Amino acid sequence: MTAAATDRAGDAQPMPASTTARATKPMPGPEAVSRPEAIRRRLTGMPGLDPAWSRVVRAPDADGVPRAWHVLDTGAAQPARAESAHAESERAAPAAGGTILAVHGNPTWSYLWRHLLAAPPPGWRVVAVDQLGMGFSEDPRGDLTHPRTLRQRIDDLTALTEALDLGPSVVVAGHDWGGLVAAGWALAHRERLSGLVLANTTVQHDFSQGLPLPLRFATRPGLLRAACVSTPAFVAAATAISSPRPEADVRAAYAAPYPDAQSRSFVGQFVADIPARPGHPTGVTFLELADGLGSLDVPALLLRGPKDPVFSEAHLRDLRARLPHADVHRYEGASHLVLEDAPRSAQDIAAWIRTRVEGHANGSTRDDTTDDSTKDVEGRASAAESTRPELPPWAVGTSTHPWAELTRAAREDPDRLCVAEVATGRQATYAQVEDDVQAVALGLAQEGVRPGQRVGVLVEPGIDLTVVIYAAWRLGAVVVVADAGLGAAAMGRALRGAGTDHIIGIPKGIAALPALRIPGARFLAGELPAPARRALTVRATLDELRACGARLRSQGATLPEVVTGDADAAVLFTSGATGPSKGVVYRVDQLRAQIGGFGHIYGLTAGDRLVAAFAPFALYGPALGIGAVVPDMKVTAPSTLTAAALAEAVLAADATSVFASPAALRNVQRTRDDLTQQQRAALAGVRVVMSAGAPVPAALLRALLELFPQADLHTPYGMTECLPVSDITLAQIETLIEGEGVCVGAPLAGVELAVAPLPDDVGAPDGALTSEPEVTGEICVRAAHVKDRYDQLWATQHASADQPPGWHRTGDVGHLDGQGRLWVQGRRAHVVHTAEGPFTPVGLEQRVEALPQVDSAAVTGVGPAGTQGVVVVIVPNPDDDQRGSSTPGRRLPRIGTQQRAMPVLADPEVAAAVRACTARPVAAVLQVAAMPVDIRHQSKIDRTRLGRWAEMVLSGGAVGTP
């Protein structure tokens, strides 16, 4: 190989005239591409790009022809070390930590990686290349009939990296078609490969099924040249499909290297090289990459923007299958240009390199941020396991038989009620449920459900849901529960992202699958006409699975012993009240501890029956050996639970305990006058009432005493990631002195609590974990039943579990008091960052809600973080005289728009009363007819949304509705 040359910082060495004349692509304007200063002038002013990174490097291409490559290199300004006496110039010195080699796709250029260039991991160099013919690199010619092939591009990159002297440790990263080039380079350089990052790309596509729609249009005969070369349509489309759409100056920067047809030649060649037809030469390279990728054992990170119309969920699933050890992070809302749409991806890559790549090089085991369900047992029994508390003695069942109480009750007390549905009148005994579970499990196994596979469940709470969940667990499958309370769009995103292998759903759920693009074999819990079944490709109904399983049992078939305590058991989803809903993975032993914890706290025994007005808790009954009753209510609307419906559920099974969200209980309280004497008597016999999902006002609990005079009223605290964490009763609340926030009680046995103190300055790190009283910070919890990980959210998991390992950062803020009780002061995302320091919302909200003129209140901030003003938004009380000790104290916020017009500014007298509730300055007191709340619980106020609305109103914008 000939010696390479590098042109840096304006001291360019012109290429031989013959080479320049033959191979150089003219830049816009009079300058040639081999002029580094000309390129830097073009780069000056581009958002986020430092022209000092720009270098022009001379290196041979795949055919040995010297070419002028443009790269962005964070080592360009570093002192260079001398090469041999034969070198034409000096190279940038390799970084101490290693080098990140970043490869763009089509039709972008190295600008795509600017965020990573701006903030690399400490000690690491970043080199982002412009592929030949792209960006500001030389055009090696070719045409649409004979495009430059993928194999040539891989070999081009190899030749360039020989000239760049990247050092012995390289993490290669690629996006789009650059992902294939990066994968090819990785396979050819195993000796120095330290890690692999792939973003919205693939190494396999079933071309017999056609191309994604954008490429289908671009590759049509007669349109390729028009779409990709003659016009800027394809170039413009790259940023047009971004989500959110970039600002105009960023869009212009992406398009800058491609102002005319000549400069877009390789945009068209990239598309022409897609092996869409049989016999295409690049098809062989595709197969080589697909076959070889699985042999890489270095750390790997897969990034995805789920709104990508080009690379689908199927492409991501294929990469995960080939790289089962890979970490995954999904950026909900992002599209094809995920590195542009989600700028935080740069800091996530940097964190991943520090954690995974440097840890791998040092010989350390994987940390507790593992986020892939295909990790082996050794990889999962990592440092996180050594910091997780031992399972408590009350964990249900055993690691291999977590459903032991169900089978025991079916054997010893077969006629005892297991599940009842008030709406349908159906009831099932323990023996019936156990028989059903075994039959359905055998039927599912016959239809191909295997251990570790994911089974999405779209079945309403009741007998069928219970049977489906326990049948899947018997097979060692992982249930994916995205309840309808998320809303249709969020539920679709959740199941699509979870990568379900099978779906079991009611008719309307199955009918929605094609539109929601949810993968997996389909099973129907219900009936549909035969034509609809065929159209929806339903494999079998639940009744057919039962019949199949019963037949197999009669022939002697039994279920294999496949369950282990460290196996994944469930993917549950957060409510999405403060951002996109996140998948939360629980293993078998973690679920055992969570379910057993509830039974232990509330003293639930075989004689108890639980009315569960929140779906997950109906599933806990069989594992605890208690009966579960599902009341007649709309699953997606907790506030549809009436007092009469709750009483009928209690009567249906002589229930002793009730679990319902605050929104449900508020409506129960409101509709109490509709109760009959028999119904009142039934409620009066309940001994435990539990409410969670959002802070429960003490006034609501007091009001409920009229309906539940014999009950202990509990408000357990927790979240999807760890429930329960603490618990407090109304009797304990009544002994409290008013404090800042909502007291949620002392941590439960086996649970440790601490806070990470909030910094005074925005962007400063939190303080070290402490259990000192009266210190406000992010609440952190450590327990055996903390979630295993977030699903395909490596960066989120890393952030939630990094201080220190074994602890979960909840996203809530609060403090511990002198007795070790926890007080919740709001969400971390809702803290108002004033000039005086951070200000938490809940304490002020409570004081404002105690005013007779106010029905509900929310505190938010307006202005730049660090100088935000405090704004209080209230819902006025329509009738002050109706407030008193017998009323809930706060009406249920409505979902959707305001119900009636009203002035946006609160009455001056009310505003003055609000300001008197705090020593902090209050910038404004606004009023609305209804608070925006989450769908699932209808209780969590979206303060971020209120903040955006308040800022718009106070800046003179349209009032509208929050």
- Give residue-wise pLDDT tens across range 771-780: 999 999 999 9
Q: Which of 777-781, 845-849, 937-941 shows the lowest mean pLDDT across its residues?
A: 937-941
- As given in the structure block, the two tokens for residue 941 are 């106020």
Query: Would you state the pLDDT for residue 222?
Result: 76
Chain-wide mean pLDDT for the chain?
Answer: 88
Query: Would you state the pLDDT for residue 103?
Result: 99
Give the confidence band of 223 by pLDDT, cuts at 50, 70, 90.
confident
Query: Would you state the pLDDT for residue 84?
Result: 30
Give the confidence band of 13 by pLDDT, cuts at 50, 70, 90.
very low
Asked whether the predicted pLDDT for residue 81 surpasses 50, the reply is no
Neighbours of 286 (CB within 10 A): 19
Asked whether the predicted pLDDT for residue 685 surpasses 50, the reply is yes
| Alpha-carbon torsion angle 779, 782, 786, 791, nearest 10 | 70
- As given in the structure block, the two tokens for residue 780 are 């952190």
**For residues 99-110, average pLDDT:** 98
- Give residue-wise pLDDT tens across range 468-493: 999 999 999 999 998 776 778 888 89
Helix ranges, 671-711 (H):
677-684, 698-704
**For residues 671-691, average pLDDT:** 97
**For residues 185-211, average pLDDT:** 93
The helix or strand, by DSSP H or E, that contains position 348, with its residue range, turns out to be: helix 345-352
* Whether the Cβ atoms of residue 712 and residue 729 lie closer than 8 Å to each other: yes
* Whether the Cβ atoms of residue 770 and residue 755 lie closer than 8 Å to each other: yes
Give the confidence band of 738 by pLDDT, cuts at 50, 70, 90.
confident
Give the confidence band of 599 by pLDDT, cuts at 50, 70, 90.
very high
| CA–CA gap between residue 611 and residue 937 (Å, rounded) | 17
Query: Would you state the pLDDT for residue 635?
Result: 73
Query: Would you state the pLDDT for residue 94?
Result: 58
DSSP state of 304: E
| CA–CA gap between residue 747 and residue 158 (Å, rounded) | 57
Strand ranges of the sheet holding 568-573, from the earlier edge strand across to the other edge: 538-541, 521-524, 502-505, 454-458, 478-481, 568-573, 583-587, 789-790
Neighbours of 47 (CB within 10 A): 12
- Give residue-wise pLDDT tens across range 295-350: 999 999 999 999 999 999 999 999 999 999 999 999 999 999 999 999 999 999 99
Query: Would you state the pLDDT for residue 95?
Result: 62
Interior angle at CA 455, CA 452 and CA 459, nearest 5: 155
Task: Read off φ and ψ for residue 301, nearest 5 degrees.
Answer: -130, 125
Query: Would you state the pLDDT for residue 142?
Result: 82
Quick one: angle between helices 404-412 and 430-446, nearest 10? 130
* Whether the Cβ atoms of residue 665 and residue 633 lie closer than 8 Å to each other: no
Among candidates 617, 591, 621, which has minimal Cα distance to 606?
A: 621
| CA–CA gap between residue 399 and residue 587 (Å, rounded) | 10
Q: How far is CA 222 from CA 218, 231, 232, 263, 790, in A?
A: 9, 13, 16, 20, 47
CATH architecture of 5-361: 3-Layer(aba) Sandwich (3.40)
- As given in the structure block, the two tokens for residue 259 are 């102002």
Asked whether the predicted pLDDT for residue 181 surpasses 70, the reply is yes
The helix or strand, by DSSP H or E, that contains position 542, with its residue range, turns out to be: helix 542-554
Query: Would you state the pLDDT for residue 144?
Result: 87
The model carries a pTM of 0.86
| Alpha-carbon torsion angle 62, 66, 69, 74, nearest 10 | 100
* Whether the Cβ atoms of residue 683 and residue 646 lie closer than 8 Å to each other: yes
661 SS3 class: coil
Query: Would you state the pLDDT for residue 737?
Result: 85
Interior angle at CA 559, CA 554 and CA 561, nearest 5: 155
* Whether the Cβ atoms of residue 253 and residue 49 lie closer than 8 Å to each other: yes
In the chain, the N- to C-terminal Cα span, in Å, equals: 65
Domain 430-563 class, CATH top level:
alpha beta
Among candidates 675, 678, 677, 638, which has minimal Cα distance to 658?
A: 638
Whole-number percent of the chain with pLDDT over 70: 88
Q: What is the 3-state secondary structure (H, E, C) of 801-823?
A: CCCCCCCEEEEEEEEECCCCCEE
826 SS3 class: strand
Give the confidence band of 33 by pLDDT, cuts at 50, 70, 90.
very low
Same fold across 430-563 and 831-962: no
- As given in the structure block, the two tokens for residue 332 are 């909900």
In the block, which residue shows the tokens 């002035």? 903
**For residues 571-580, average pLDDT:** 82
- As given in the structure block, the two tokens for residue 950 are 């308040």
* Whether the Cβ atoms of residue 846 and residue 733 lie closer than 8 Å to each other: no
- Give residue-wise pLDDT tens across range 776-831: 999 999 999 999 999 999 999 998 886 677 899 999 999 999 999 999 999 999 99
Residue-level length of the chain? 962
**Each residue of 934-953: b (16+ CB within 10 Å) or e?**
bbbbbbbbbbbebbebbbeb
The helix or strand, by DSSP H or E, that contains position 500, with its residue range, turns out to be: none
Asked whether the predicted pLDDT for residue 364 surpasses 80, the reply is no
Give the confidence band of 938 by pLDDT, cuts at 50, 70, 90.
low
DSSP state of 729: B
Q: Are strands 327-330 and 193-199 parallel, antiparallel or unpaired?
A: unpaired
Concatenated DSSP letters of 42-98: HHTT-TT--GGGEEEEEEE-TTS-EEEEEEEETTTTSPEEP--TT-SS-EEPPPSSE
**For residues 941-959, average pLDDT:** 86
- Give residue-wise pLDDT tens across range 426-471: 999 999 999 999 999 999 999 999 999 999 999 999 999 999 999 9
The helix or strand, by DSSP H or E, that contains position 800, with its residue range, turns out to be: helix 794-800
Query: Would you state the pLDDT for residue 93?
Result: 55
| CA–CA gap between residue 228 and residue 234 (Å, rounded) | 5
Give the CATH number of domain 831-962. Answer: 3.30.300.30
**For residues 64-89, average pLDDT:** 66
In the block, which residue shows the tokens 């403090």? 815
| Cis peptide leading into residue 16 (ω within 30°) | no
The helix or strand, by DSSP H or E, that contains position 310, with its residue range, turns out to be: none
The helix or strand, by DSSP H or E, that contains position 128, with its residue range, turns out to be: strand 124-129
Burial of 961 (0-12, 13-18, 19+ CB in 10 A): middle
**For residues 152-175, average pLDDT:** 96
Asked whether the predicted pLDDT for residue 379 surpasses 80, the reply is no
Question: CB neighbours of 919 closer than 8 A, spacing ≥ 6?
Answer: none
Asked whether the predicted pLDDT for residue 378 surpasses 70, the reply is no
Query: Most confidently modeled of 200-214, 348-362, 503-517, 923-937?
Result: 503-517
User: Per-domain residue ranges for the chain?
Assistant: 5-361, 430-563, 831-962
Concatenated DSSP letters of 168-235: S-EEEEEETHHHHHHHHHHHH-TTTEEEEEEES--S---GGG---HHHHHHTSTTTHHIIIIISSHHH
Structure-model confidence comparison of residues 249 and 378, the more confident one: 249
Quick one: angle between helices 430-446 and 463-474, nearest 10? 50
- Give residue-wise pLDDT tens across range 615-673: 778 899 999 999 999 999 987 788 899 999 999 999 999 999 999 988 899 999 999 99
Question: CB neighbours of 30 closer than 8 A, spacing ≥ 6?
Answer: none
Q: Are strands 808-816 and 777-782 parallel, antiparallel or unpaired?
A: antiparallel
DSSP state of 355: I
* Whether the Cβ atoms of residue 178 and residue 338 lie closer than 8 Å to each other: no
Strand ranges of the sheet holding 688-690, from the earlier edge strand across to the other edge: 427-429, 417-421, 627-630, 609-612, 657-659, 688-690, 712-714
Q: Are strands 657-659 and 609-612 parallel, antiparallel or unpaired?
A: parallel
Query: Would you state the pLDDT for residue 77?
Result: 56
